[in-house]
Amino acid sequence: MISFLNDYSEGAHPKVLQRLVDTNLQQATGYGTDNFTTEATAKIKDAIDCPQAKVCFLTGGTQTNQIVIDALLQSYQGVIAVDSGHINLHEAGAIEFTGHKVLTLPGKAGKLQAQTVADYVQNFYEDDSYQQMVFPGMVYISYPTEYGTLYSKQELTDLATVCRKYHMPLYIDGARLGYGLMSAAADMTIKDIAQLADVFYIGGTKIGALCGEAVVFTKNNEPEQFYSFVKRHGALLAKGRLNSLQFLELFTNNLYFDISQHAVAMALKLKQGFLDKGYQLYIDSPTNQQFFIMDNQKVQELSQQVLFTRWEKYNENQTIIRFVTSWATPEKDIDQLLALI
Amino acid sequence: MISFLNDYSEGAHPKVLQRLVDTNLQQATGYGTDNFTTEATAKIKDAIDCPQAKVCFLTGGTQTNQIVIDALLQSYQGVIAVDSGHINLHEAGAIEFTGHKVLTLPGKAGKLQAQTVADYVQNFYEDDSYQQMVFPGMVYISYPTEYGTLYSKQELTDLATVCRKYHMPLYIDGARLGYGLMSAAADMTIKDIAQLADVFYIGGTKIGALCGEAVVFTKNNEPEQFYSFVKRHGALLAKGRLNSLQFLELFTNNLYFDISQHAVAMALKLKQGFLDKGYQLYIDSPTNQQFFIMDNQKVQELSQQVLFTRWEKYNENQTIIRFVTSWATPEKDIDQLLALI
Amino acid sequence: MISFLNDYSEGAHPKVLQRLVDTNLQQATGYGTDNFTTEATAKIKDAIDCPQAKVCFLTGGTQTNQIVIDALLQSYQGVIAVDSGHINLHEAGAIEFTGHKVLTLPGKAGKLQAQTVADYVQNFYEDDSYQQMVFPGMVYISYPTEYGTLYSKQELTDLATVCRKYHMPLYIDGARLGYGLMSAAADMTIKDIAQLADVFYIGGTKIGALCGEAVVFTKNNEPEQFYSFVKRHGALLAKGRLNSLQFLELFTNNLYFDISQHAVAMALKLKQGFLDKGYQLYIDSPTNQQFFIMDNQKVQELSQQVLFTRWEKYNENQTIIRFVTSWATPEKDIDQLLALI
Amino acid sequence: MISFLNDYSEGAHPKVLQRLVDTNLQQATGYGTDNFTTEATAKIKDAIDCPQAKVCFLTGGTQTNQIVIDALLQSYQGVIAVDSGHINLHEAGAIEFTGHKVLTLPGKAGKLQAQTVADYVQNFYEDDSYQQMVFPGMVYISYPTEYGTLYSKQELTDLATVCRKYHMPLYIDGARLGYGLMSAAADMTIKDIAQLADVFYIGGTKIGALCGEAVVFTKNNEPEQFYSFVKRHGALLAKGRLNSLQFLELFTNNLYFDISQHAVAMALKLKQGFLDKGYQLYIDSPTNQQFFIMDNQKVQELSQQVLFTRWEKYNENQTIIRFVTSWATPEKDIDQLLALI
């Protein structure tokens, strides 16, 4: 059965796995002090054009969000997120586990607006009764968002401006960063991301790696004793090489971006195919996640031959469904899907 | 330079890596719901002869200790450990991060004695003033211990008896389980471990895997909604296959135990070589960690050519040093080392 | 200046203070093991007609909410509350501090609807994707609500029915319980509260005490080792007598309810006065908090002579304002206020 | 039955209670923003001769220790304490509840030695392996100690010097501060305490108040947004007046020190009486707690007529027992006790 369930159904890109094989019996020191980590860090700093960056390799997205947010917040602070944000809905309370409240604000097409943030935070400086509320200490967004949409460079610049005004770091969850940046709709590069964000992560798990996310602190703002902090969260791998070697390969010869581009191309072909057959978009996504509205009966039929996600009920007769492509999606699977709808 | 620093300097056993390569493009569902996980679980249940076992694959040792202990304790309870226990000294406060106190008791040769535990816990039932203290909710030990020593079957049975009497689960940290069980000094098999422990983990990171530990709940005692619990700790891998495929290979054709045996054989050859040259043991370990006392000057000289750990000061003139072998240690490295001392 | 800022501006009801004076030099054992606590517990159990109740005296409302919720939830669970709920907005993250998410749902006039809760929770039993979300473990409501409104007995029964269906304890925050129950609009007694709630607290701080809230577990459901749990939250008073003596007096000769009735009578006189002068209610509250809409200029003028709360902006020209009466409000203050508007 | 169980068996000193009565119906703003709090703060700053001090009133000792330690530590840090320290043994894990490890060191007569601290902390700067351990972020001591003993000014100065060298705040738990300072053996005043400590608290619960401890930050080091921090721990009283009014009275006309002196005088008379009858001291305490060694049979007899604490077993035939005096101990109770032994 062909699958469009998610972007983490296969192992790693073959070149990434080959790098692990090639280096397998070389000895390396533990806990991220090894040379592979040094090399991978240099590659990333170069790619983002940010010489002062500090890079730390972690293993998964929820772990990364938990650690970065807990590290940057003071203990009495909360993190602002759009209400559809991954940290609010789909991380089983990993942020609250560290004692911090997720302060949710409404968004548009999955995106947080700079003005919404400014209006909210301003209250804390004007109204004494806000002292009984959780003080907002940072802003979390995803690029692309949970709905596959993209912030424009202007939108992100506006958010960053508000964040700086109120001394809140801007953190960008880049679980699917490559799939966003390689969209034709993106008006930014990874260098812009590095400039606008105070901290962001480059997602590996969903883009070619077995596991691994690269956290980047861009403004000389790596928290003190971050190594201990990661250890204490149970996230410090003895074999730091596992994550760093994968990123070393992904950031060699543009691999990360090339395989991201493939996924986006597949998604757009899929999208066009649905539109051509008269299906309605639930949301207009230019990246590797596509959302459609489909009659329940058709959903039922299609699910006999294709794996995809029933996102939520649209109305009594129709369902919102999601299709995801990845670095590993063969074009023939798209053709086969389009023949079925 | 040859290295005896630790047992996690290389990647994975080549067969383990090959298994990842062979299955790489097979699609699998996420978060540990895949067939590889089902297969690996079956292999482990078979190996430990415990049909009712629940197995969960996590990524590292500190993460595993943190999650298991937090899951089994009531929030007001603490965990008993010997004062040299890994969770007390070398996990950067990962247990306290979850709100639980490590209740330390003195040990012998790194081992916790059943009577010591019984005497301590009995106070909580007899003396009202203990209500102001942290109630002991479980017992943590390592097999082998942090000093490479081994509990006898009788010692472990005694501990398990005390634990059952006081309704405290017995948890065995098996980061180096294979290196313990394959020692000639071991009078137990992994089946005995499964019978005596309420929960234990089979260490992969130090025995042939890139990463990965297999937690086993042996007494129909997997905590409710453990999946959510793992997620909320940031420890649920999207690609659950990464850990389970490695264990699938390790538990095929006895690989886990064969490679463990190699490490122990290398350690004993190393130990005998040191003894033959007149060096004094700091502790008599029958497993893959060996501790010696060496003159500071000799330590200085040797460290020019060999990597090993200066454990701690023994006296003004001598240092306790540690040598660790692993599944990957070539016999020629032992020969080379022994020629140098 | 006369004040309608809140219901905690004075010390204690004189009879309550007198009780402290009368017993002052009697010796009592510590930490709530004293006879005053036993007596006060008996009075409360009698008043609520619930012989199996367990009563625990704590010191403030946020502390009480934090401890009760943390004690009743499993660590991976969250607490459902209406989005205007006190625990969501005005406790500075005290619930999240204990690691639990507040799961907010929309309400009507500050009240949570049974159907809203049922629809939400049902998802967790039907849709696998909810496994990545925080599981709802209990329901929190306030009686009266943060807007002074009251649940009817039917509404509360419906909520309790949903809670039982889904095995979620129903917890009622009674910071102003007396002010709710003594409203003419209330169709319940404290005995009904005890029957419908799994746990609730009787607020003392806002109703006649210097401090103190009485938590009542009504269904043989006091958490194990709750004493240790309270201690570990830093909330166990050495002189448990302080809280219990005050409740002993409050529950002698109906004092708690009599002084509550006075506050409600004052509030209704105030409300009628505002209505008579043509002011618009923001919300129709039958208890001791009253919300009106007032022109900004009038607000400005009035605030020269009266203390009250500017709740929030209503529109460019008008503000929502809040007046609170209490057991201590003199009728002449109401008259004086009404003369000013 | 006469009682020497503890120093919190009665209510408050009558003058303290009278102050609550006298001010009872005066209105005050909430949450510590009231004038009584301002006045009490001024009294304390004057008494300790520390104009830049910030004072915060909390309700109990464990709560105070929990909040101060959690506020001053970075989240990855632990607090150093002597192994007999109150936070290590008798607070039910309140420190660990906030995620911090108590790092215990051995002491002498209940006191932590400066050199012991220096030797321990120095390791973290010299030995890389300490990165896997919990970093020491502050030092906790009690004055007087849990055994009633006192640090000399020299000992405290030495500790403060080590603390400053390693950038660790020195925190003094003054639950019984008055009973220490008014001992003839004390070579310090409260002004010295304020100078040597970075933060300390003046205990009220055990010295004349119904409840209440006054935390003093002496070095312009009150944590940011401490108000929110206290709220989030559930410790912010709506009626802040309750604690501050009591301290206002205790720091009027030297009351705090006068009543402390009485307790110490009573303790010394008791001690002399025991010594005269040939009883052996367990530890030589110059303050209001006295520890003796007594034959088990005599303990049994005496406990028929007097309340006191069986501290722990001394040997098979003898028990360590504790007698505590307080501001409220009548001299006739001492006489009566001495007649019985």
How does pLDDT run along chain B (341 residues), one tens digit per residue?
899 999 999 999 999 999 999 999 999 999 999 999 999 999 999 999 999 999 999 999 999 999 999 999 999 999 999 999 999 999 999 999 999 999 999 999 999 999 999 999 999 998 888 889 999 999 999 999 999 999 999 999 999 999 999 999 999 999 999 999 999 999 999 999 999 999 999 999 999 999 999 999 999 999 999 999 999 999 999 999 999 999 999 999 999 999 999 999 999 999 999 999 999 999 999 999 999 999 999 999 999 999 999 998 999 999 999 999 999 999 999 999 999 99
Q: What is the pLDDT of residue A281?
A: 98
Contact A239 B211 (CB under 8 A): yes
Chains that touch B (3 or more CB pairs under 8 A): A, C, D
Cα of C132 to nearest chain A Cα, Å: 5
Q: Which chain A residues contact residue D229 at CB under 8 A?
A: 75-76
Q: What distance in Å separates the CA atoms of residue C142 and residue C139, rounded to the nearest whole number?
A: 10
Q: Which chain C residues contact residue A96 at CB under 8 A?
A: 78, 96, 99-101, 134
Contact B228 C135 (CB under 8 A): yes
Tell me, yes or no, whether D136 and D205 share the same domain. yes
Q: What distance in Å separates the CA atoms of residue D134 and residue C271, rounded to the nearest whole number?
A: 59
Q: Which chain A residues contact residue C102 at CB under 8 A?
A: 101
Tell me, yes or no, whether A127 and A191 share the same domain. yes
**Residue whose token pair is 């209990």:** C138
Tell me, yes or no, whether C216 and C301 share the same domain. no
Res C27 pLDDT > 90: yes
For C234, the closest of D5, D6, D94 (CB atoms) is: D94
Q: Is A136 exposed, middle or buried (0-12, 13-18, 19+ CB in 10 A)?
A: buried
Res D109 pLDDT > 90: yes
For A93, the closest of C78, C93, C97 (CB atoms) is: C78
What is the pLDDT of chain D when averaged over all its residues? 97
Q: What is the pLDDT of residue D324?
A: 98
Longest CA span, chain C: 61
**End position of a domain, from candidates A228, A255, A282:** A255
Q: Which chain B residues contact residue C132 at CB under 8 A?
A: 231
Contact C120, C80 (CB under 8 A): yes
Chain segment B244-256, per-residue pLDDT in tens:
999 999 999 999 9
Interface test with C, best of B70, B72, B75, B222 (most C CBs within 10 A): B75
CB atoms inside a 10 Å sphere around CB B258: 15
Q: What distance in Å separates the CA atoms of residue D246 and residue D267, rounded to the nearest whole number?
A: 25
Of C134, C121, C128, C205, which Cα lies nearest the Cα of C170? C121
Q: What is the pLDDT of residue A264?
A: 98
Cα of C98 to nearest chain B Cα, Å: 9
Q: What distance in Å separates the CA atoms of residue C114 and residue C111, rounded to the nearest whole number?
A: 10
Determine the residue of chain A that is closest to D231 in CA distance.
Answer: A132
Contact A102 C97 (CB under 8 A): no
Q: What are phi and psi of D132, to 5 degrees?
A: -85, 0
DSSP string, B175-221: TTHHHHHTSTT----HHHHHHH-SEEEEE-TTTT-SS-EEEEE-SS-
Contact C255, C15 (CB under 8 A): yes
Q: Which chain D residues contact residue C205 at CB under 8 A?
A: 237-239
Q: What is the pLDDT of residue C1?
A: 87
Q: Which chain C residues contact residue D8 at CB under 8 A?
A: 30, 238-239
Contact D73, D44 (CB under 8 A): no
Q: What distance in Å separates the CA atoms of residue D70 and residue D77, rounded to the nearest whole number?
A: 10
Give residues with Cβ within 8 angstroms of C265, minimum separation 6.
Answer: none
Tell me, yes or no, whether B140 and B278 share the same domain. no
Contact B9 A30 (CB under 8 A): yes
Q: How many residues does chain C have?
A: 341
Q: How many residues does chain B have?
A: 341
CB atoms inside a 10 Å sphere around CB B284: 13
Give residues with Cβ within 8 angstroms of A181, minimum separation 6.
Answer: A188, A189, A190, A193, A257, A260
Residue % of chain C over a pLDDT of 70: 100
Q: What distance in Å separates the CA atoms of residue A146 and residue C303, rounded to the nearest whole number?
A: 47
Cα of A214 to nearest chain B Cα, Å: 15
Res C147 pLDDT > 90: yes
Could you tell me the strand order of the sheet in which D318-324 lies? D280-283, D289-295, D318-324, D309-313
Contact B93 D100 (CB under 8 A): yes
Tell me, yes or no, whether D39 and D127 share the same domain. yes
DSSP string, B24-73: TTS---STT-SHHHHHHHHHHHHHHT-TT-EEEEES-HHHHHHHHHHHHS
Tell me, yes or no, whether D209 and D107 share the same domain. yes
For residue D264, give its domain range.
2-7+256-340
What is the pLDDT of chain B when averaged over all its residues? 97
Q: What is the pLDDT of residue B158?
A: 98
Of A121, A193, A191, which Cα lies nearest the Cα of A150? A193
Q: Which chain A residues contact residue B240 at CB under 8 A?
A: none
Tell me, yes or no, whether B190 and B323 share the same domain. no
Q: What is the pLDDT of residue B127?
A: 84
DSSP-based three-state secondary structure for B105: strand
Chain segment C82-97, per-residue pLDDT in tens:
999 999 999 999 999 9
Tell me, yes or no, whether A304 and A336 share the same domain. yes
pTM, to two decimals? 0.97
Domain of A289: which CATH number?
3.90.1150.10
Contact D96 B92 (CB under 8 A): no
Cα of C161 to nearest chain D Cα, Å: 31
Determine the residue of chain B that is closest to D91 in CA distance.
Answer: B132
Q: What is the pLDDT of residue B76?
A: 95
For A234, the closest of B20, B62, B242 (CB atoms) is: B62
Contact C93, D232 (CB under 8 A): yes
Q: Which chain C residues contact residue D231 at CB under 8 A?
A: 62, 91-92, 94
Contact A321, A297 (CB under 8 A): no
**End position of a domain, from candidates B223, B253, B283:** B253
Q: Which chain A residues contact residue D76 at CB under 8 A?
A: 225, 228-229, 232
For B92, the closest of D90, D96, D134 (CB atoms) is: D134
Q: What is the pLDDT of residue C129?
A: 81
Q: Which chain A residues contact residue D224 at CB under 8 A?
A: 74
Q: What is the pLDDT of residue B129?
A: 81
Q: What is the pLDDT of residue B193?
A: 98
Chain centroid to Cα D341, Å, comes to 30
Cα of C131 to nearest chain B Cα, Å: 6
Confidence of residue C77 (pLDDT cuts 50, 70, 90): very high
Domain of B184: which CATH number?
3.40.640.10
Confidence of residue C107 (pLDDT cuts 50, 70, 90): very high
Contact A76 D229 (CB under 8 A): yes
Tokens of B77: 């309870």
Contact B266, B332 (CB under 8 A): no
D-side interface with B, Cβ within 8 Å? 76, 78, 89-93, 96-102, 129, 131-134, 309
Confidence of residue A127 (pLDDT cuts 50, 70, 90): confident
Interface test with C, best of D17, D225, D242 (most C CBs within 10 A): D242
Q: Is D253 exposed, middle or buried (0-12, 13-18, 19+ CB in 10 A)?
A: exposed
Res C201 pLDDT > 90: yes
Contact B239 A11 (CB under 8 A): yes
Confidence of residue D99 (pLDDT cuts 50, 70, 90): very high
Task: Say how many domains are in chain C.
Answer: 2
Tell me, yes or no, whether B84 and B200 share the same domain. yes
Q: Which chain B residues contact residue C96 at CB under 8 A?
A: none
A-side interface with D, Cβ within 8 Å? 70, 74-76, 99, 131-132, 134-135, 224-225, 227-229, 231-232
Q: Which chain A residues contact residue D75 at CB under 8 A?
A: 70, 75, 229
Number of residue pairs across A and B with CB atoms under 8 Å?
Answer: 149
For D93, the closest of B93, B131, B134 (CB atoms) is: B134
For B93, the closest of D91, D131, D134 (CB atoms) is: D134
Chains that touch C (3 or more CB pairs under 8 A): A, B, D
Determine the residue of chain D that is closest to A70 in CA distance.
Answer: D75
For B11, the closest of A24, A63, A67 (CB atoms) is: A24
Tell me, yes or no, whether A172 and A205 share the same domain. yes
Confidence of residue D46 (pLDDT cuts 50, 70, 90): very high
Contact C228 B76 (CB under 8 A): yes
Q: What is the pLDDT of residue B22?
A: 98
Confidence of residue D130 (pLDDT cuts 50, 70, 90): confident
C318 forms beta bridges with C295
Contact D11 C20 (CB under 8 A): yes
Contact A92 C309 (CB under 8 A): no
Q: What distance in Å separates the CA atoms of residue D176 and residue D327, rounded to the nearest whole number?
A: 11
Q: What distance in Å separates the CA atoms of residue A237 and residue A242, rounded to the nearest whole number?
A: 8
**End position of a domain, from candidates A189, A224, A255:** A255
Interface test with C, best of D5, D27, D246 (most C CBs within 10 A): D27
Q: What distance in Å separates the CA atoms of residue A108 and residue D231, rounded to the nearest whole number?
A: 34
Chain segment A68-107, per-residue pLDDT in tens:
999 999 999 999 999 999 999 999 999 999 999 999 999 9
Contact A334, A262 (CB under 8 A): no
Give residues with Cβ within 8 angstroms of B334, minimum separation 6.
Answer: B266, B269, B270, B273, B325
ipTM above 0.95, yes or no: yes
Of D251, D265, D267, D244, which Cα lies nearest the Cα of D44? D251
Contact A232 B92 (CB under 8 A): yes
Contact A93 C102 (CB under 8 A): no
**What mean pLDDT do residues A247-276 have?**
98
Q: How many residues does chain D have?
A: 341
Give residues with Cβ within 8 angstroms of D156, minimum separation 6.
Answer: D143, D188, D192, D196
Cα of D135 to nearest chain A Cα, Å: 8
Contact C229 B76 (CB under 8 A): yes
Residue % of chain D over a pLDDT of 90: 98
Tell me, yes or no, whether D169 and D36 share the same domain. yes
For B76, the closest of C99, C135, C232 (CB atoms) is: C232
D106 preceded by a cis bond (ω within 30 of 0)? no
Confidence of residue A66 (pLDDT cuts 50, 70, 90): very high
Tell me, yes or no, whether D240 and D182 share the same domain. yes
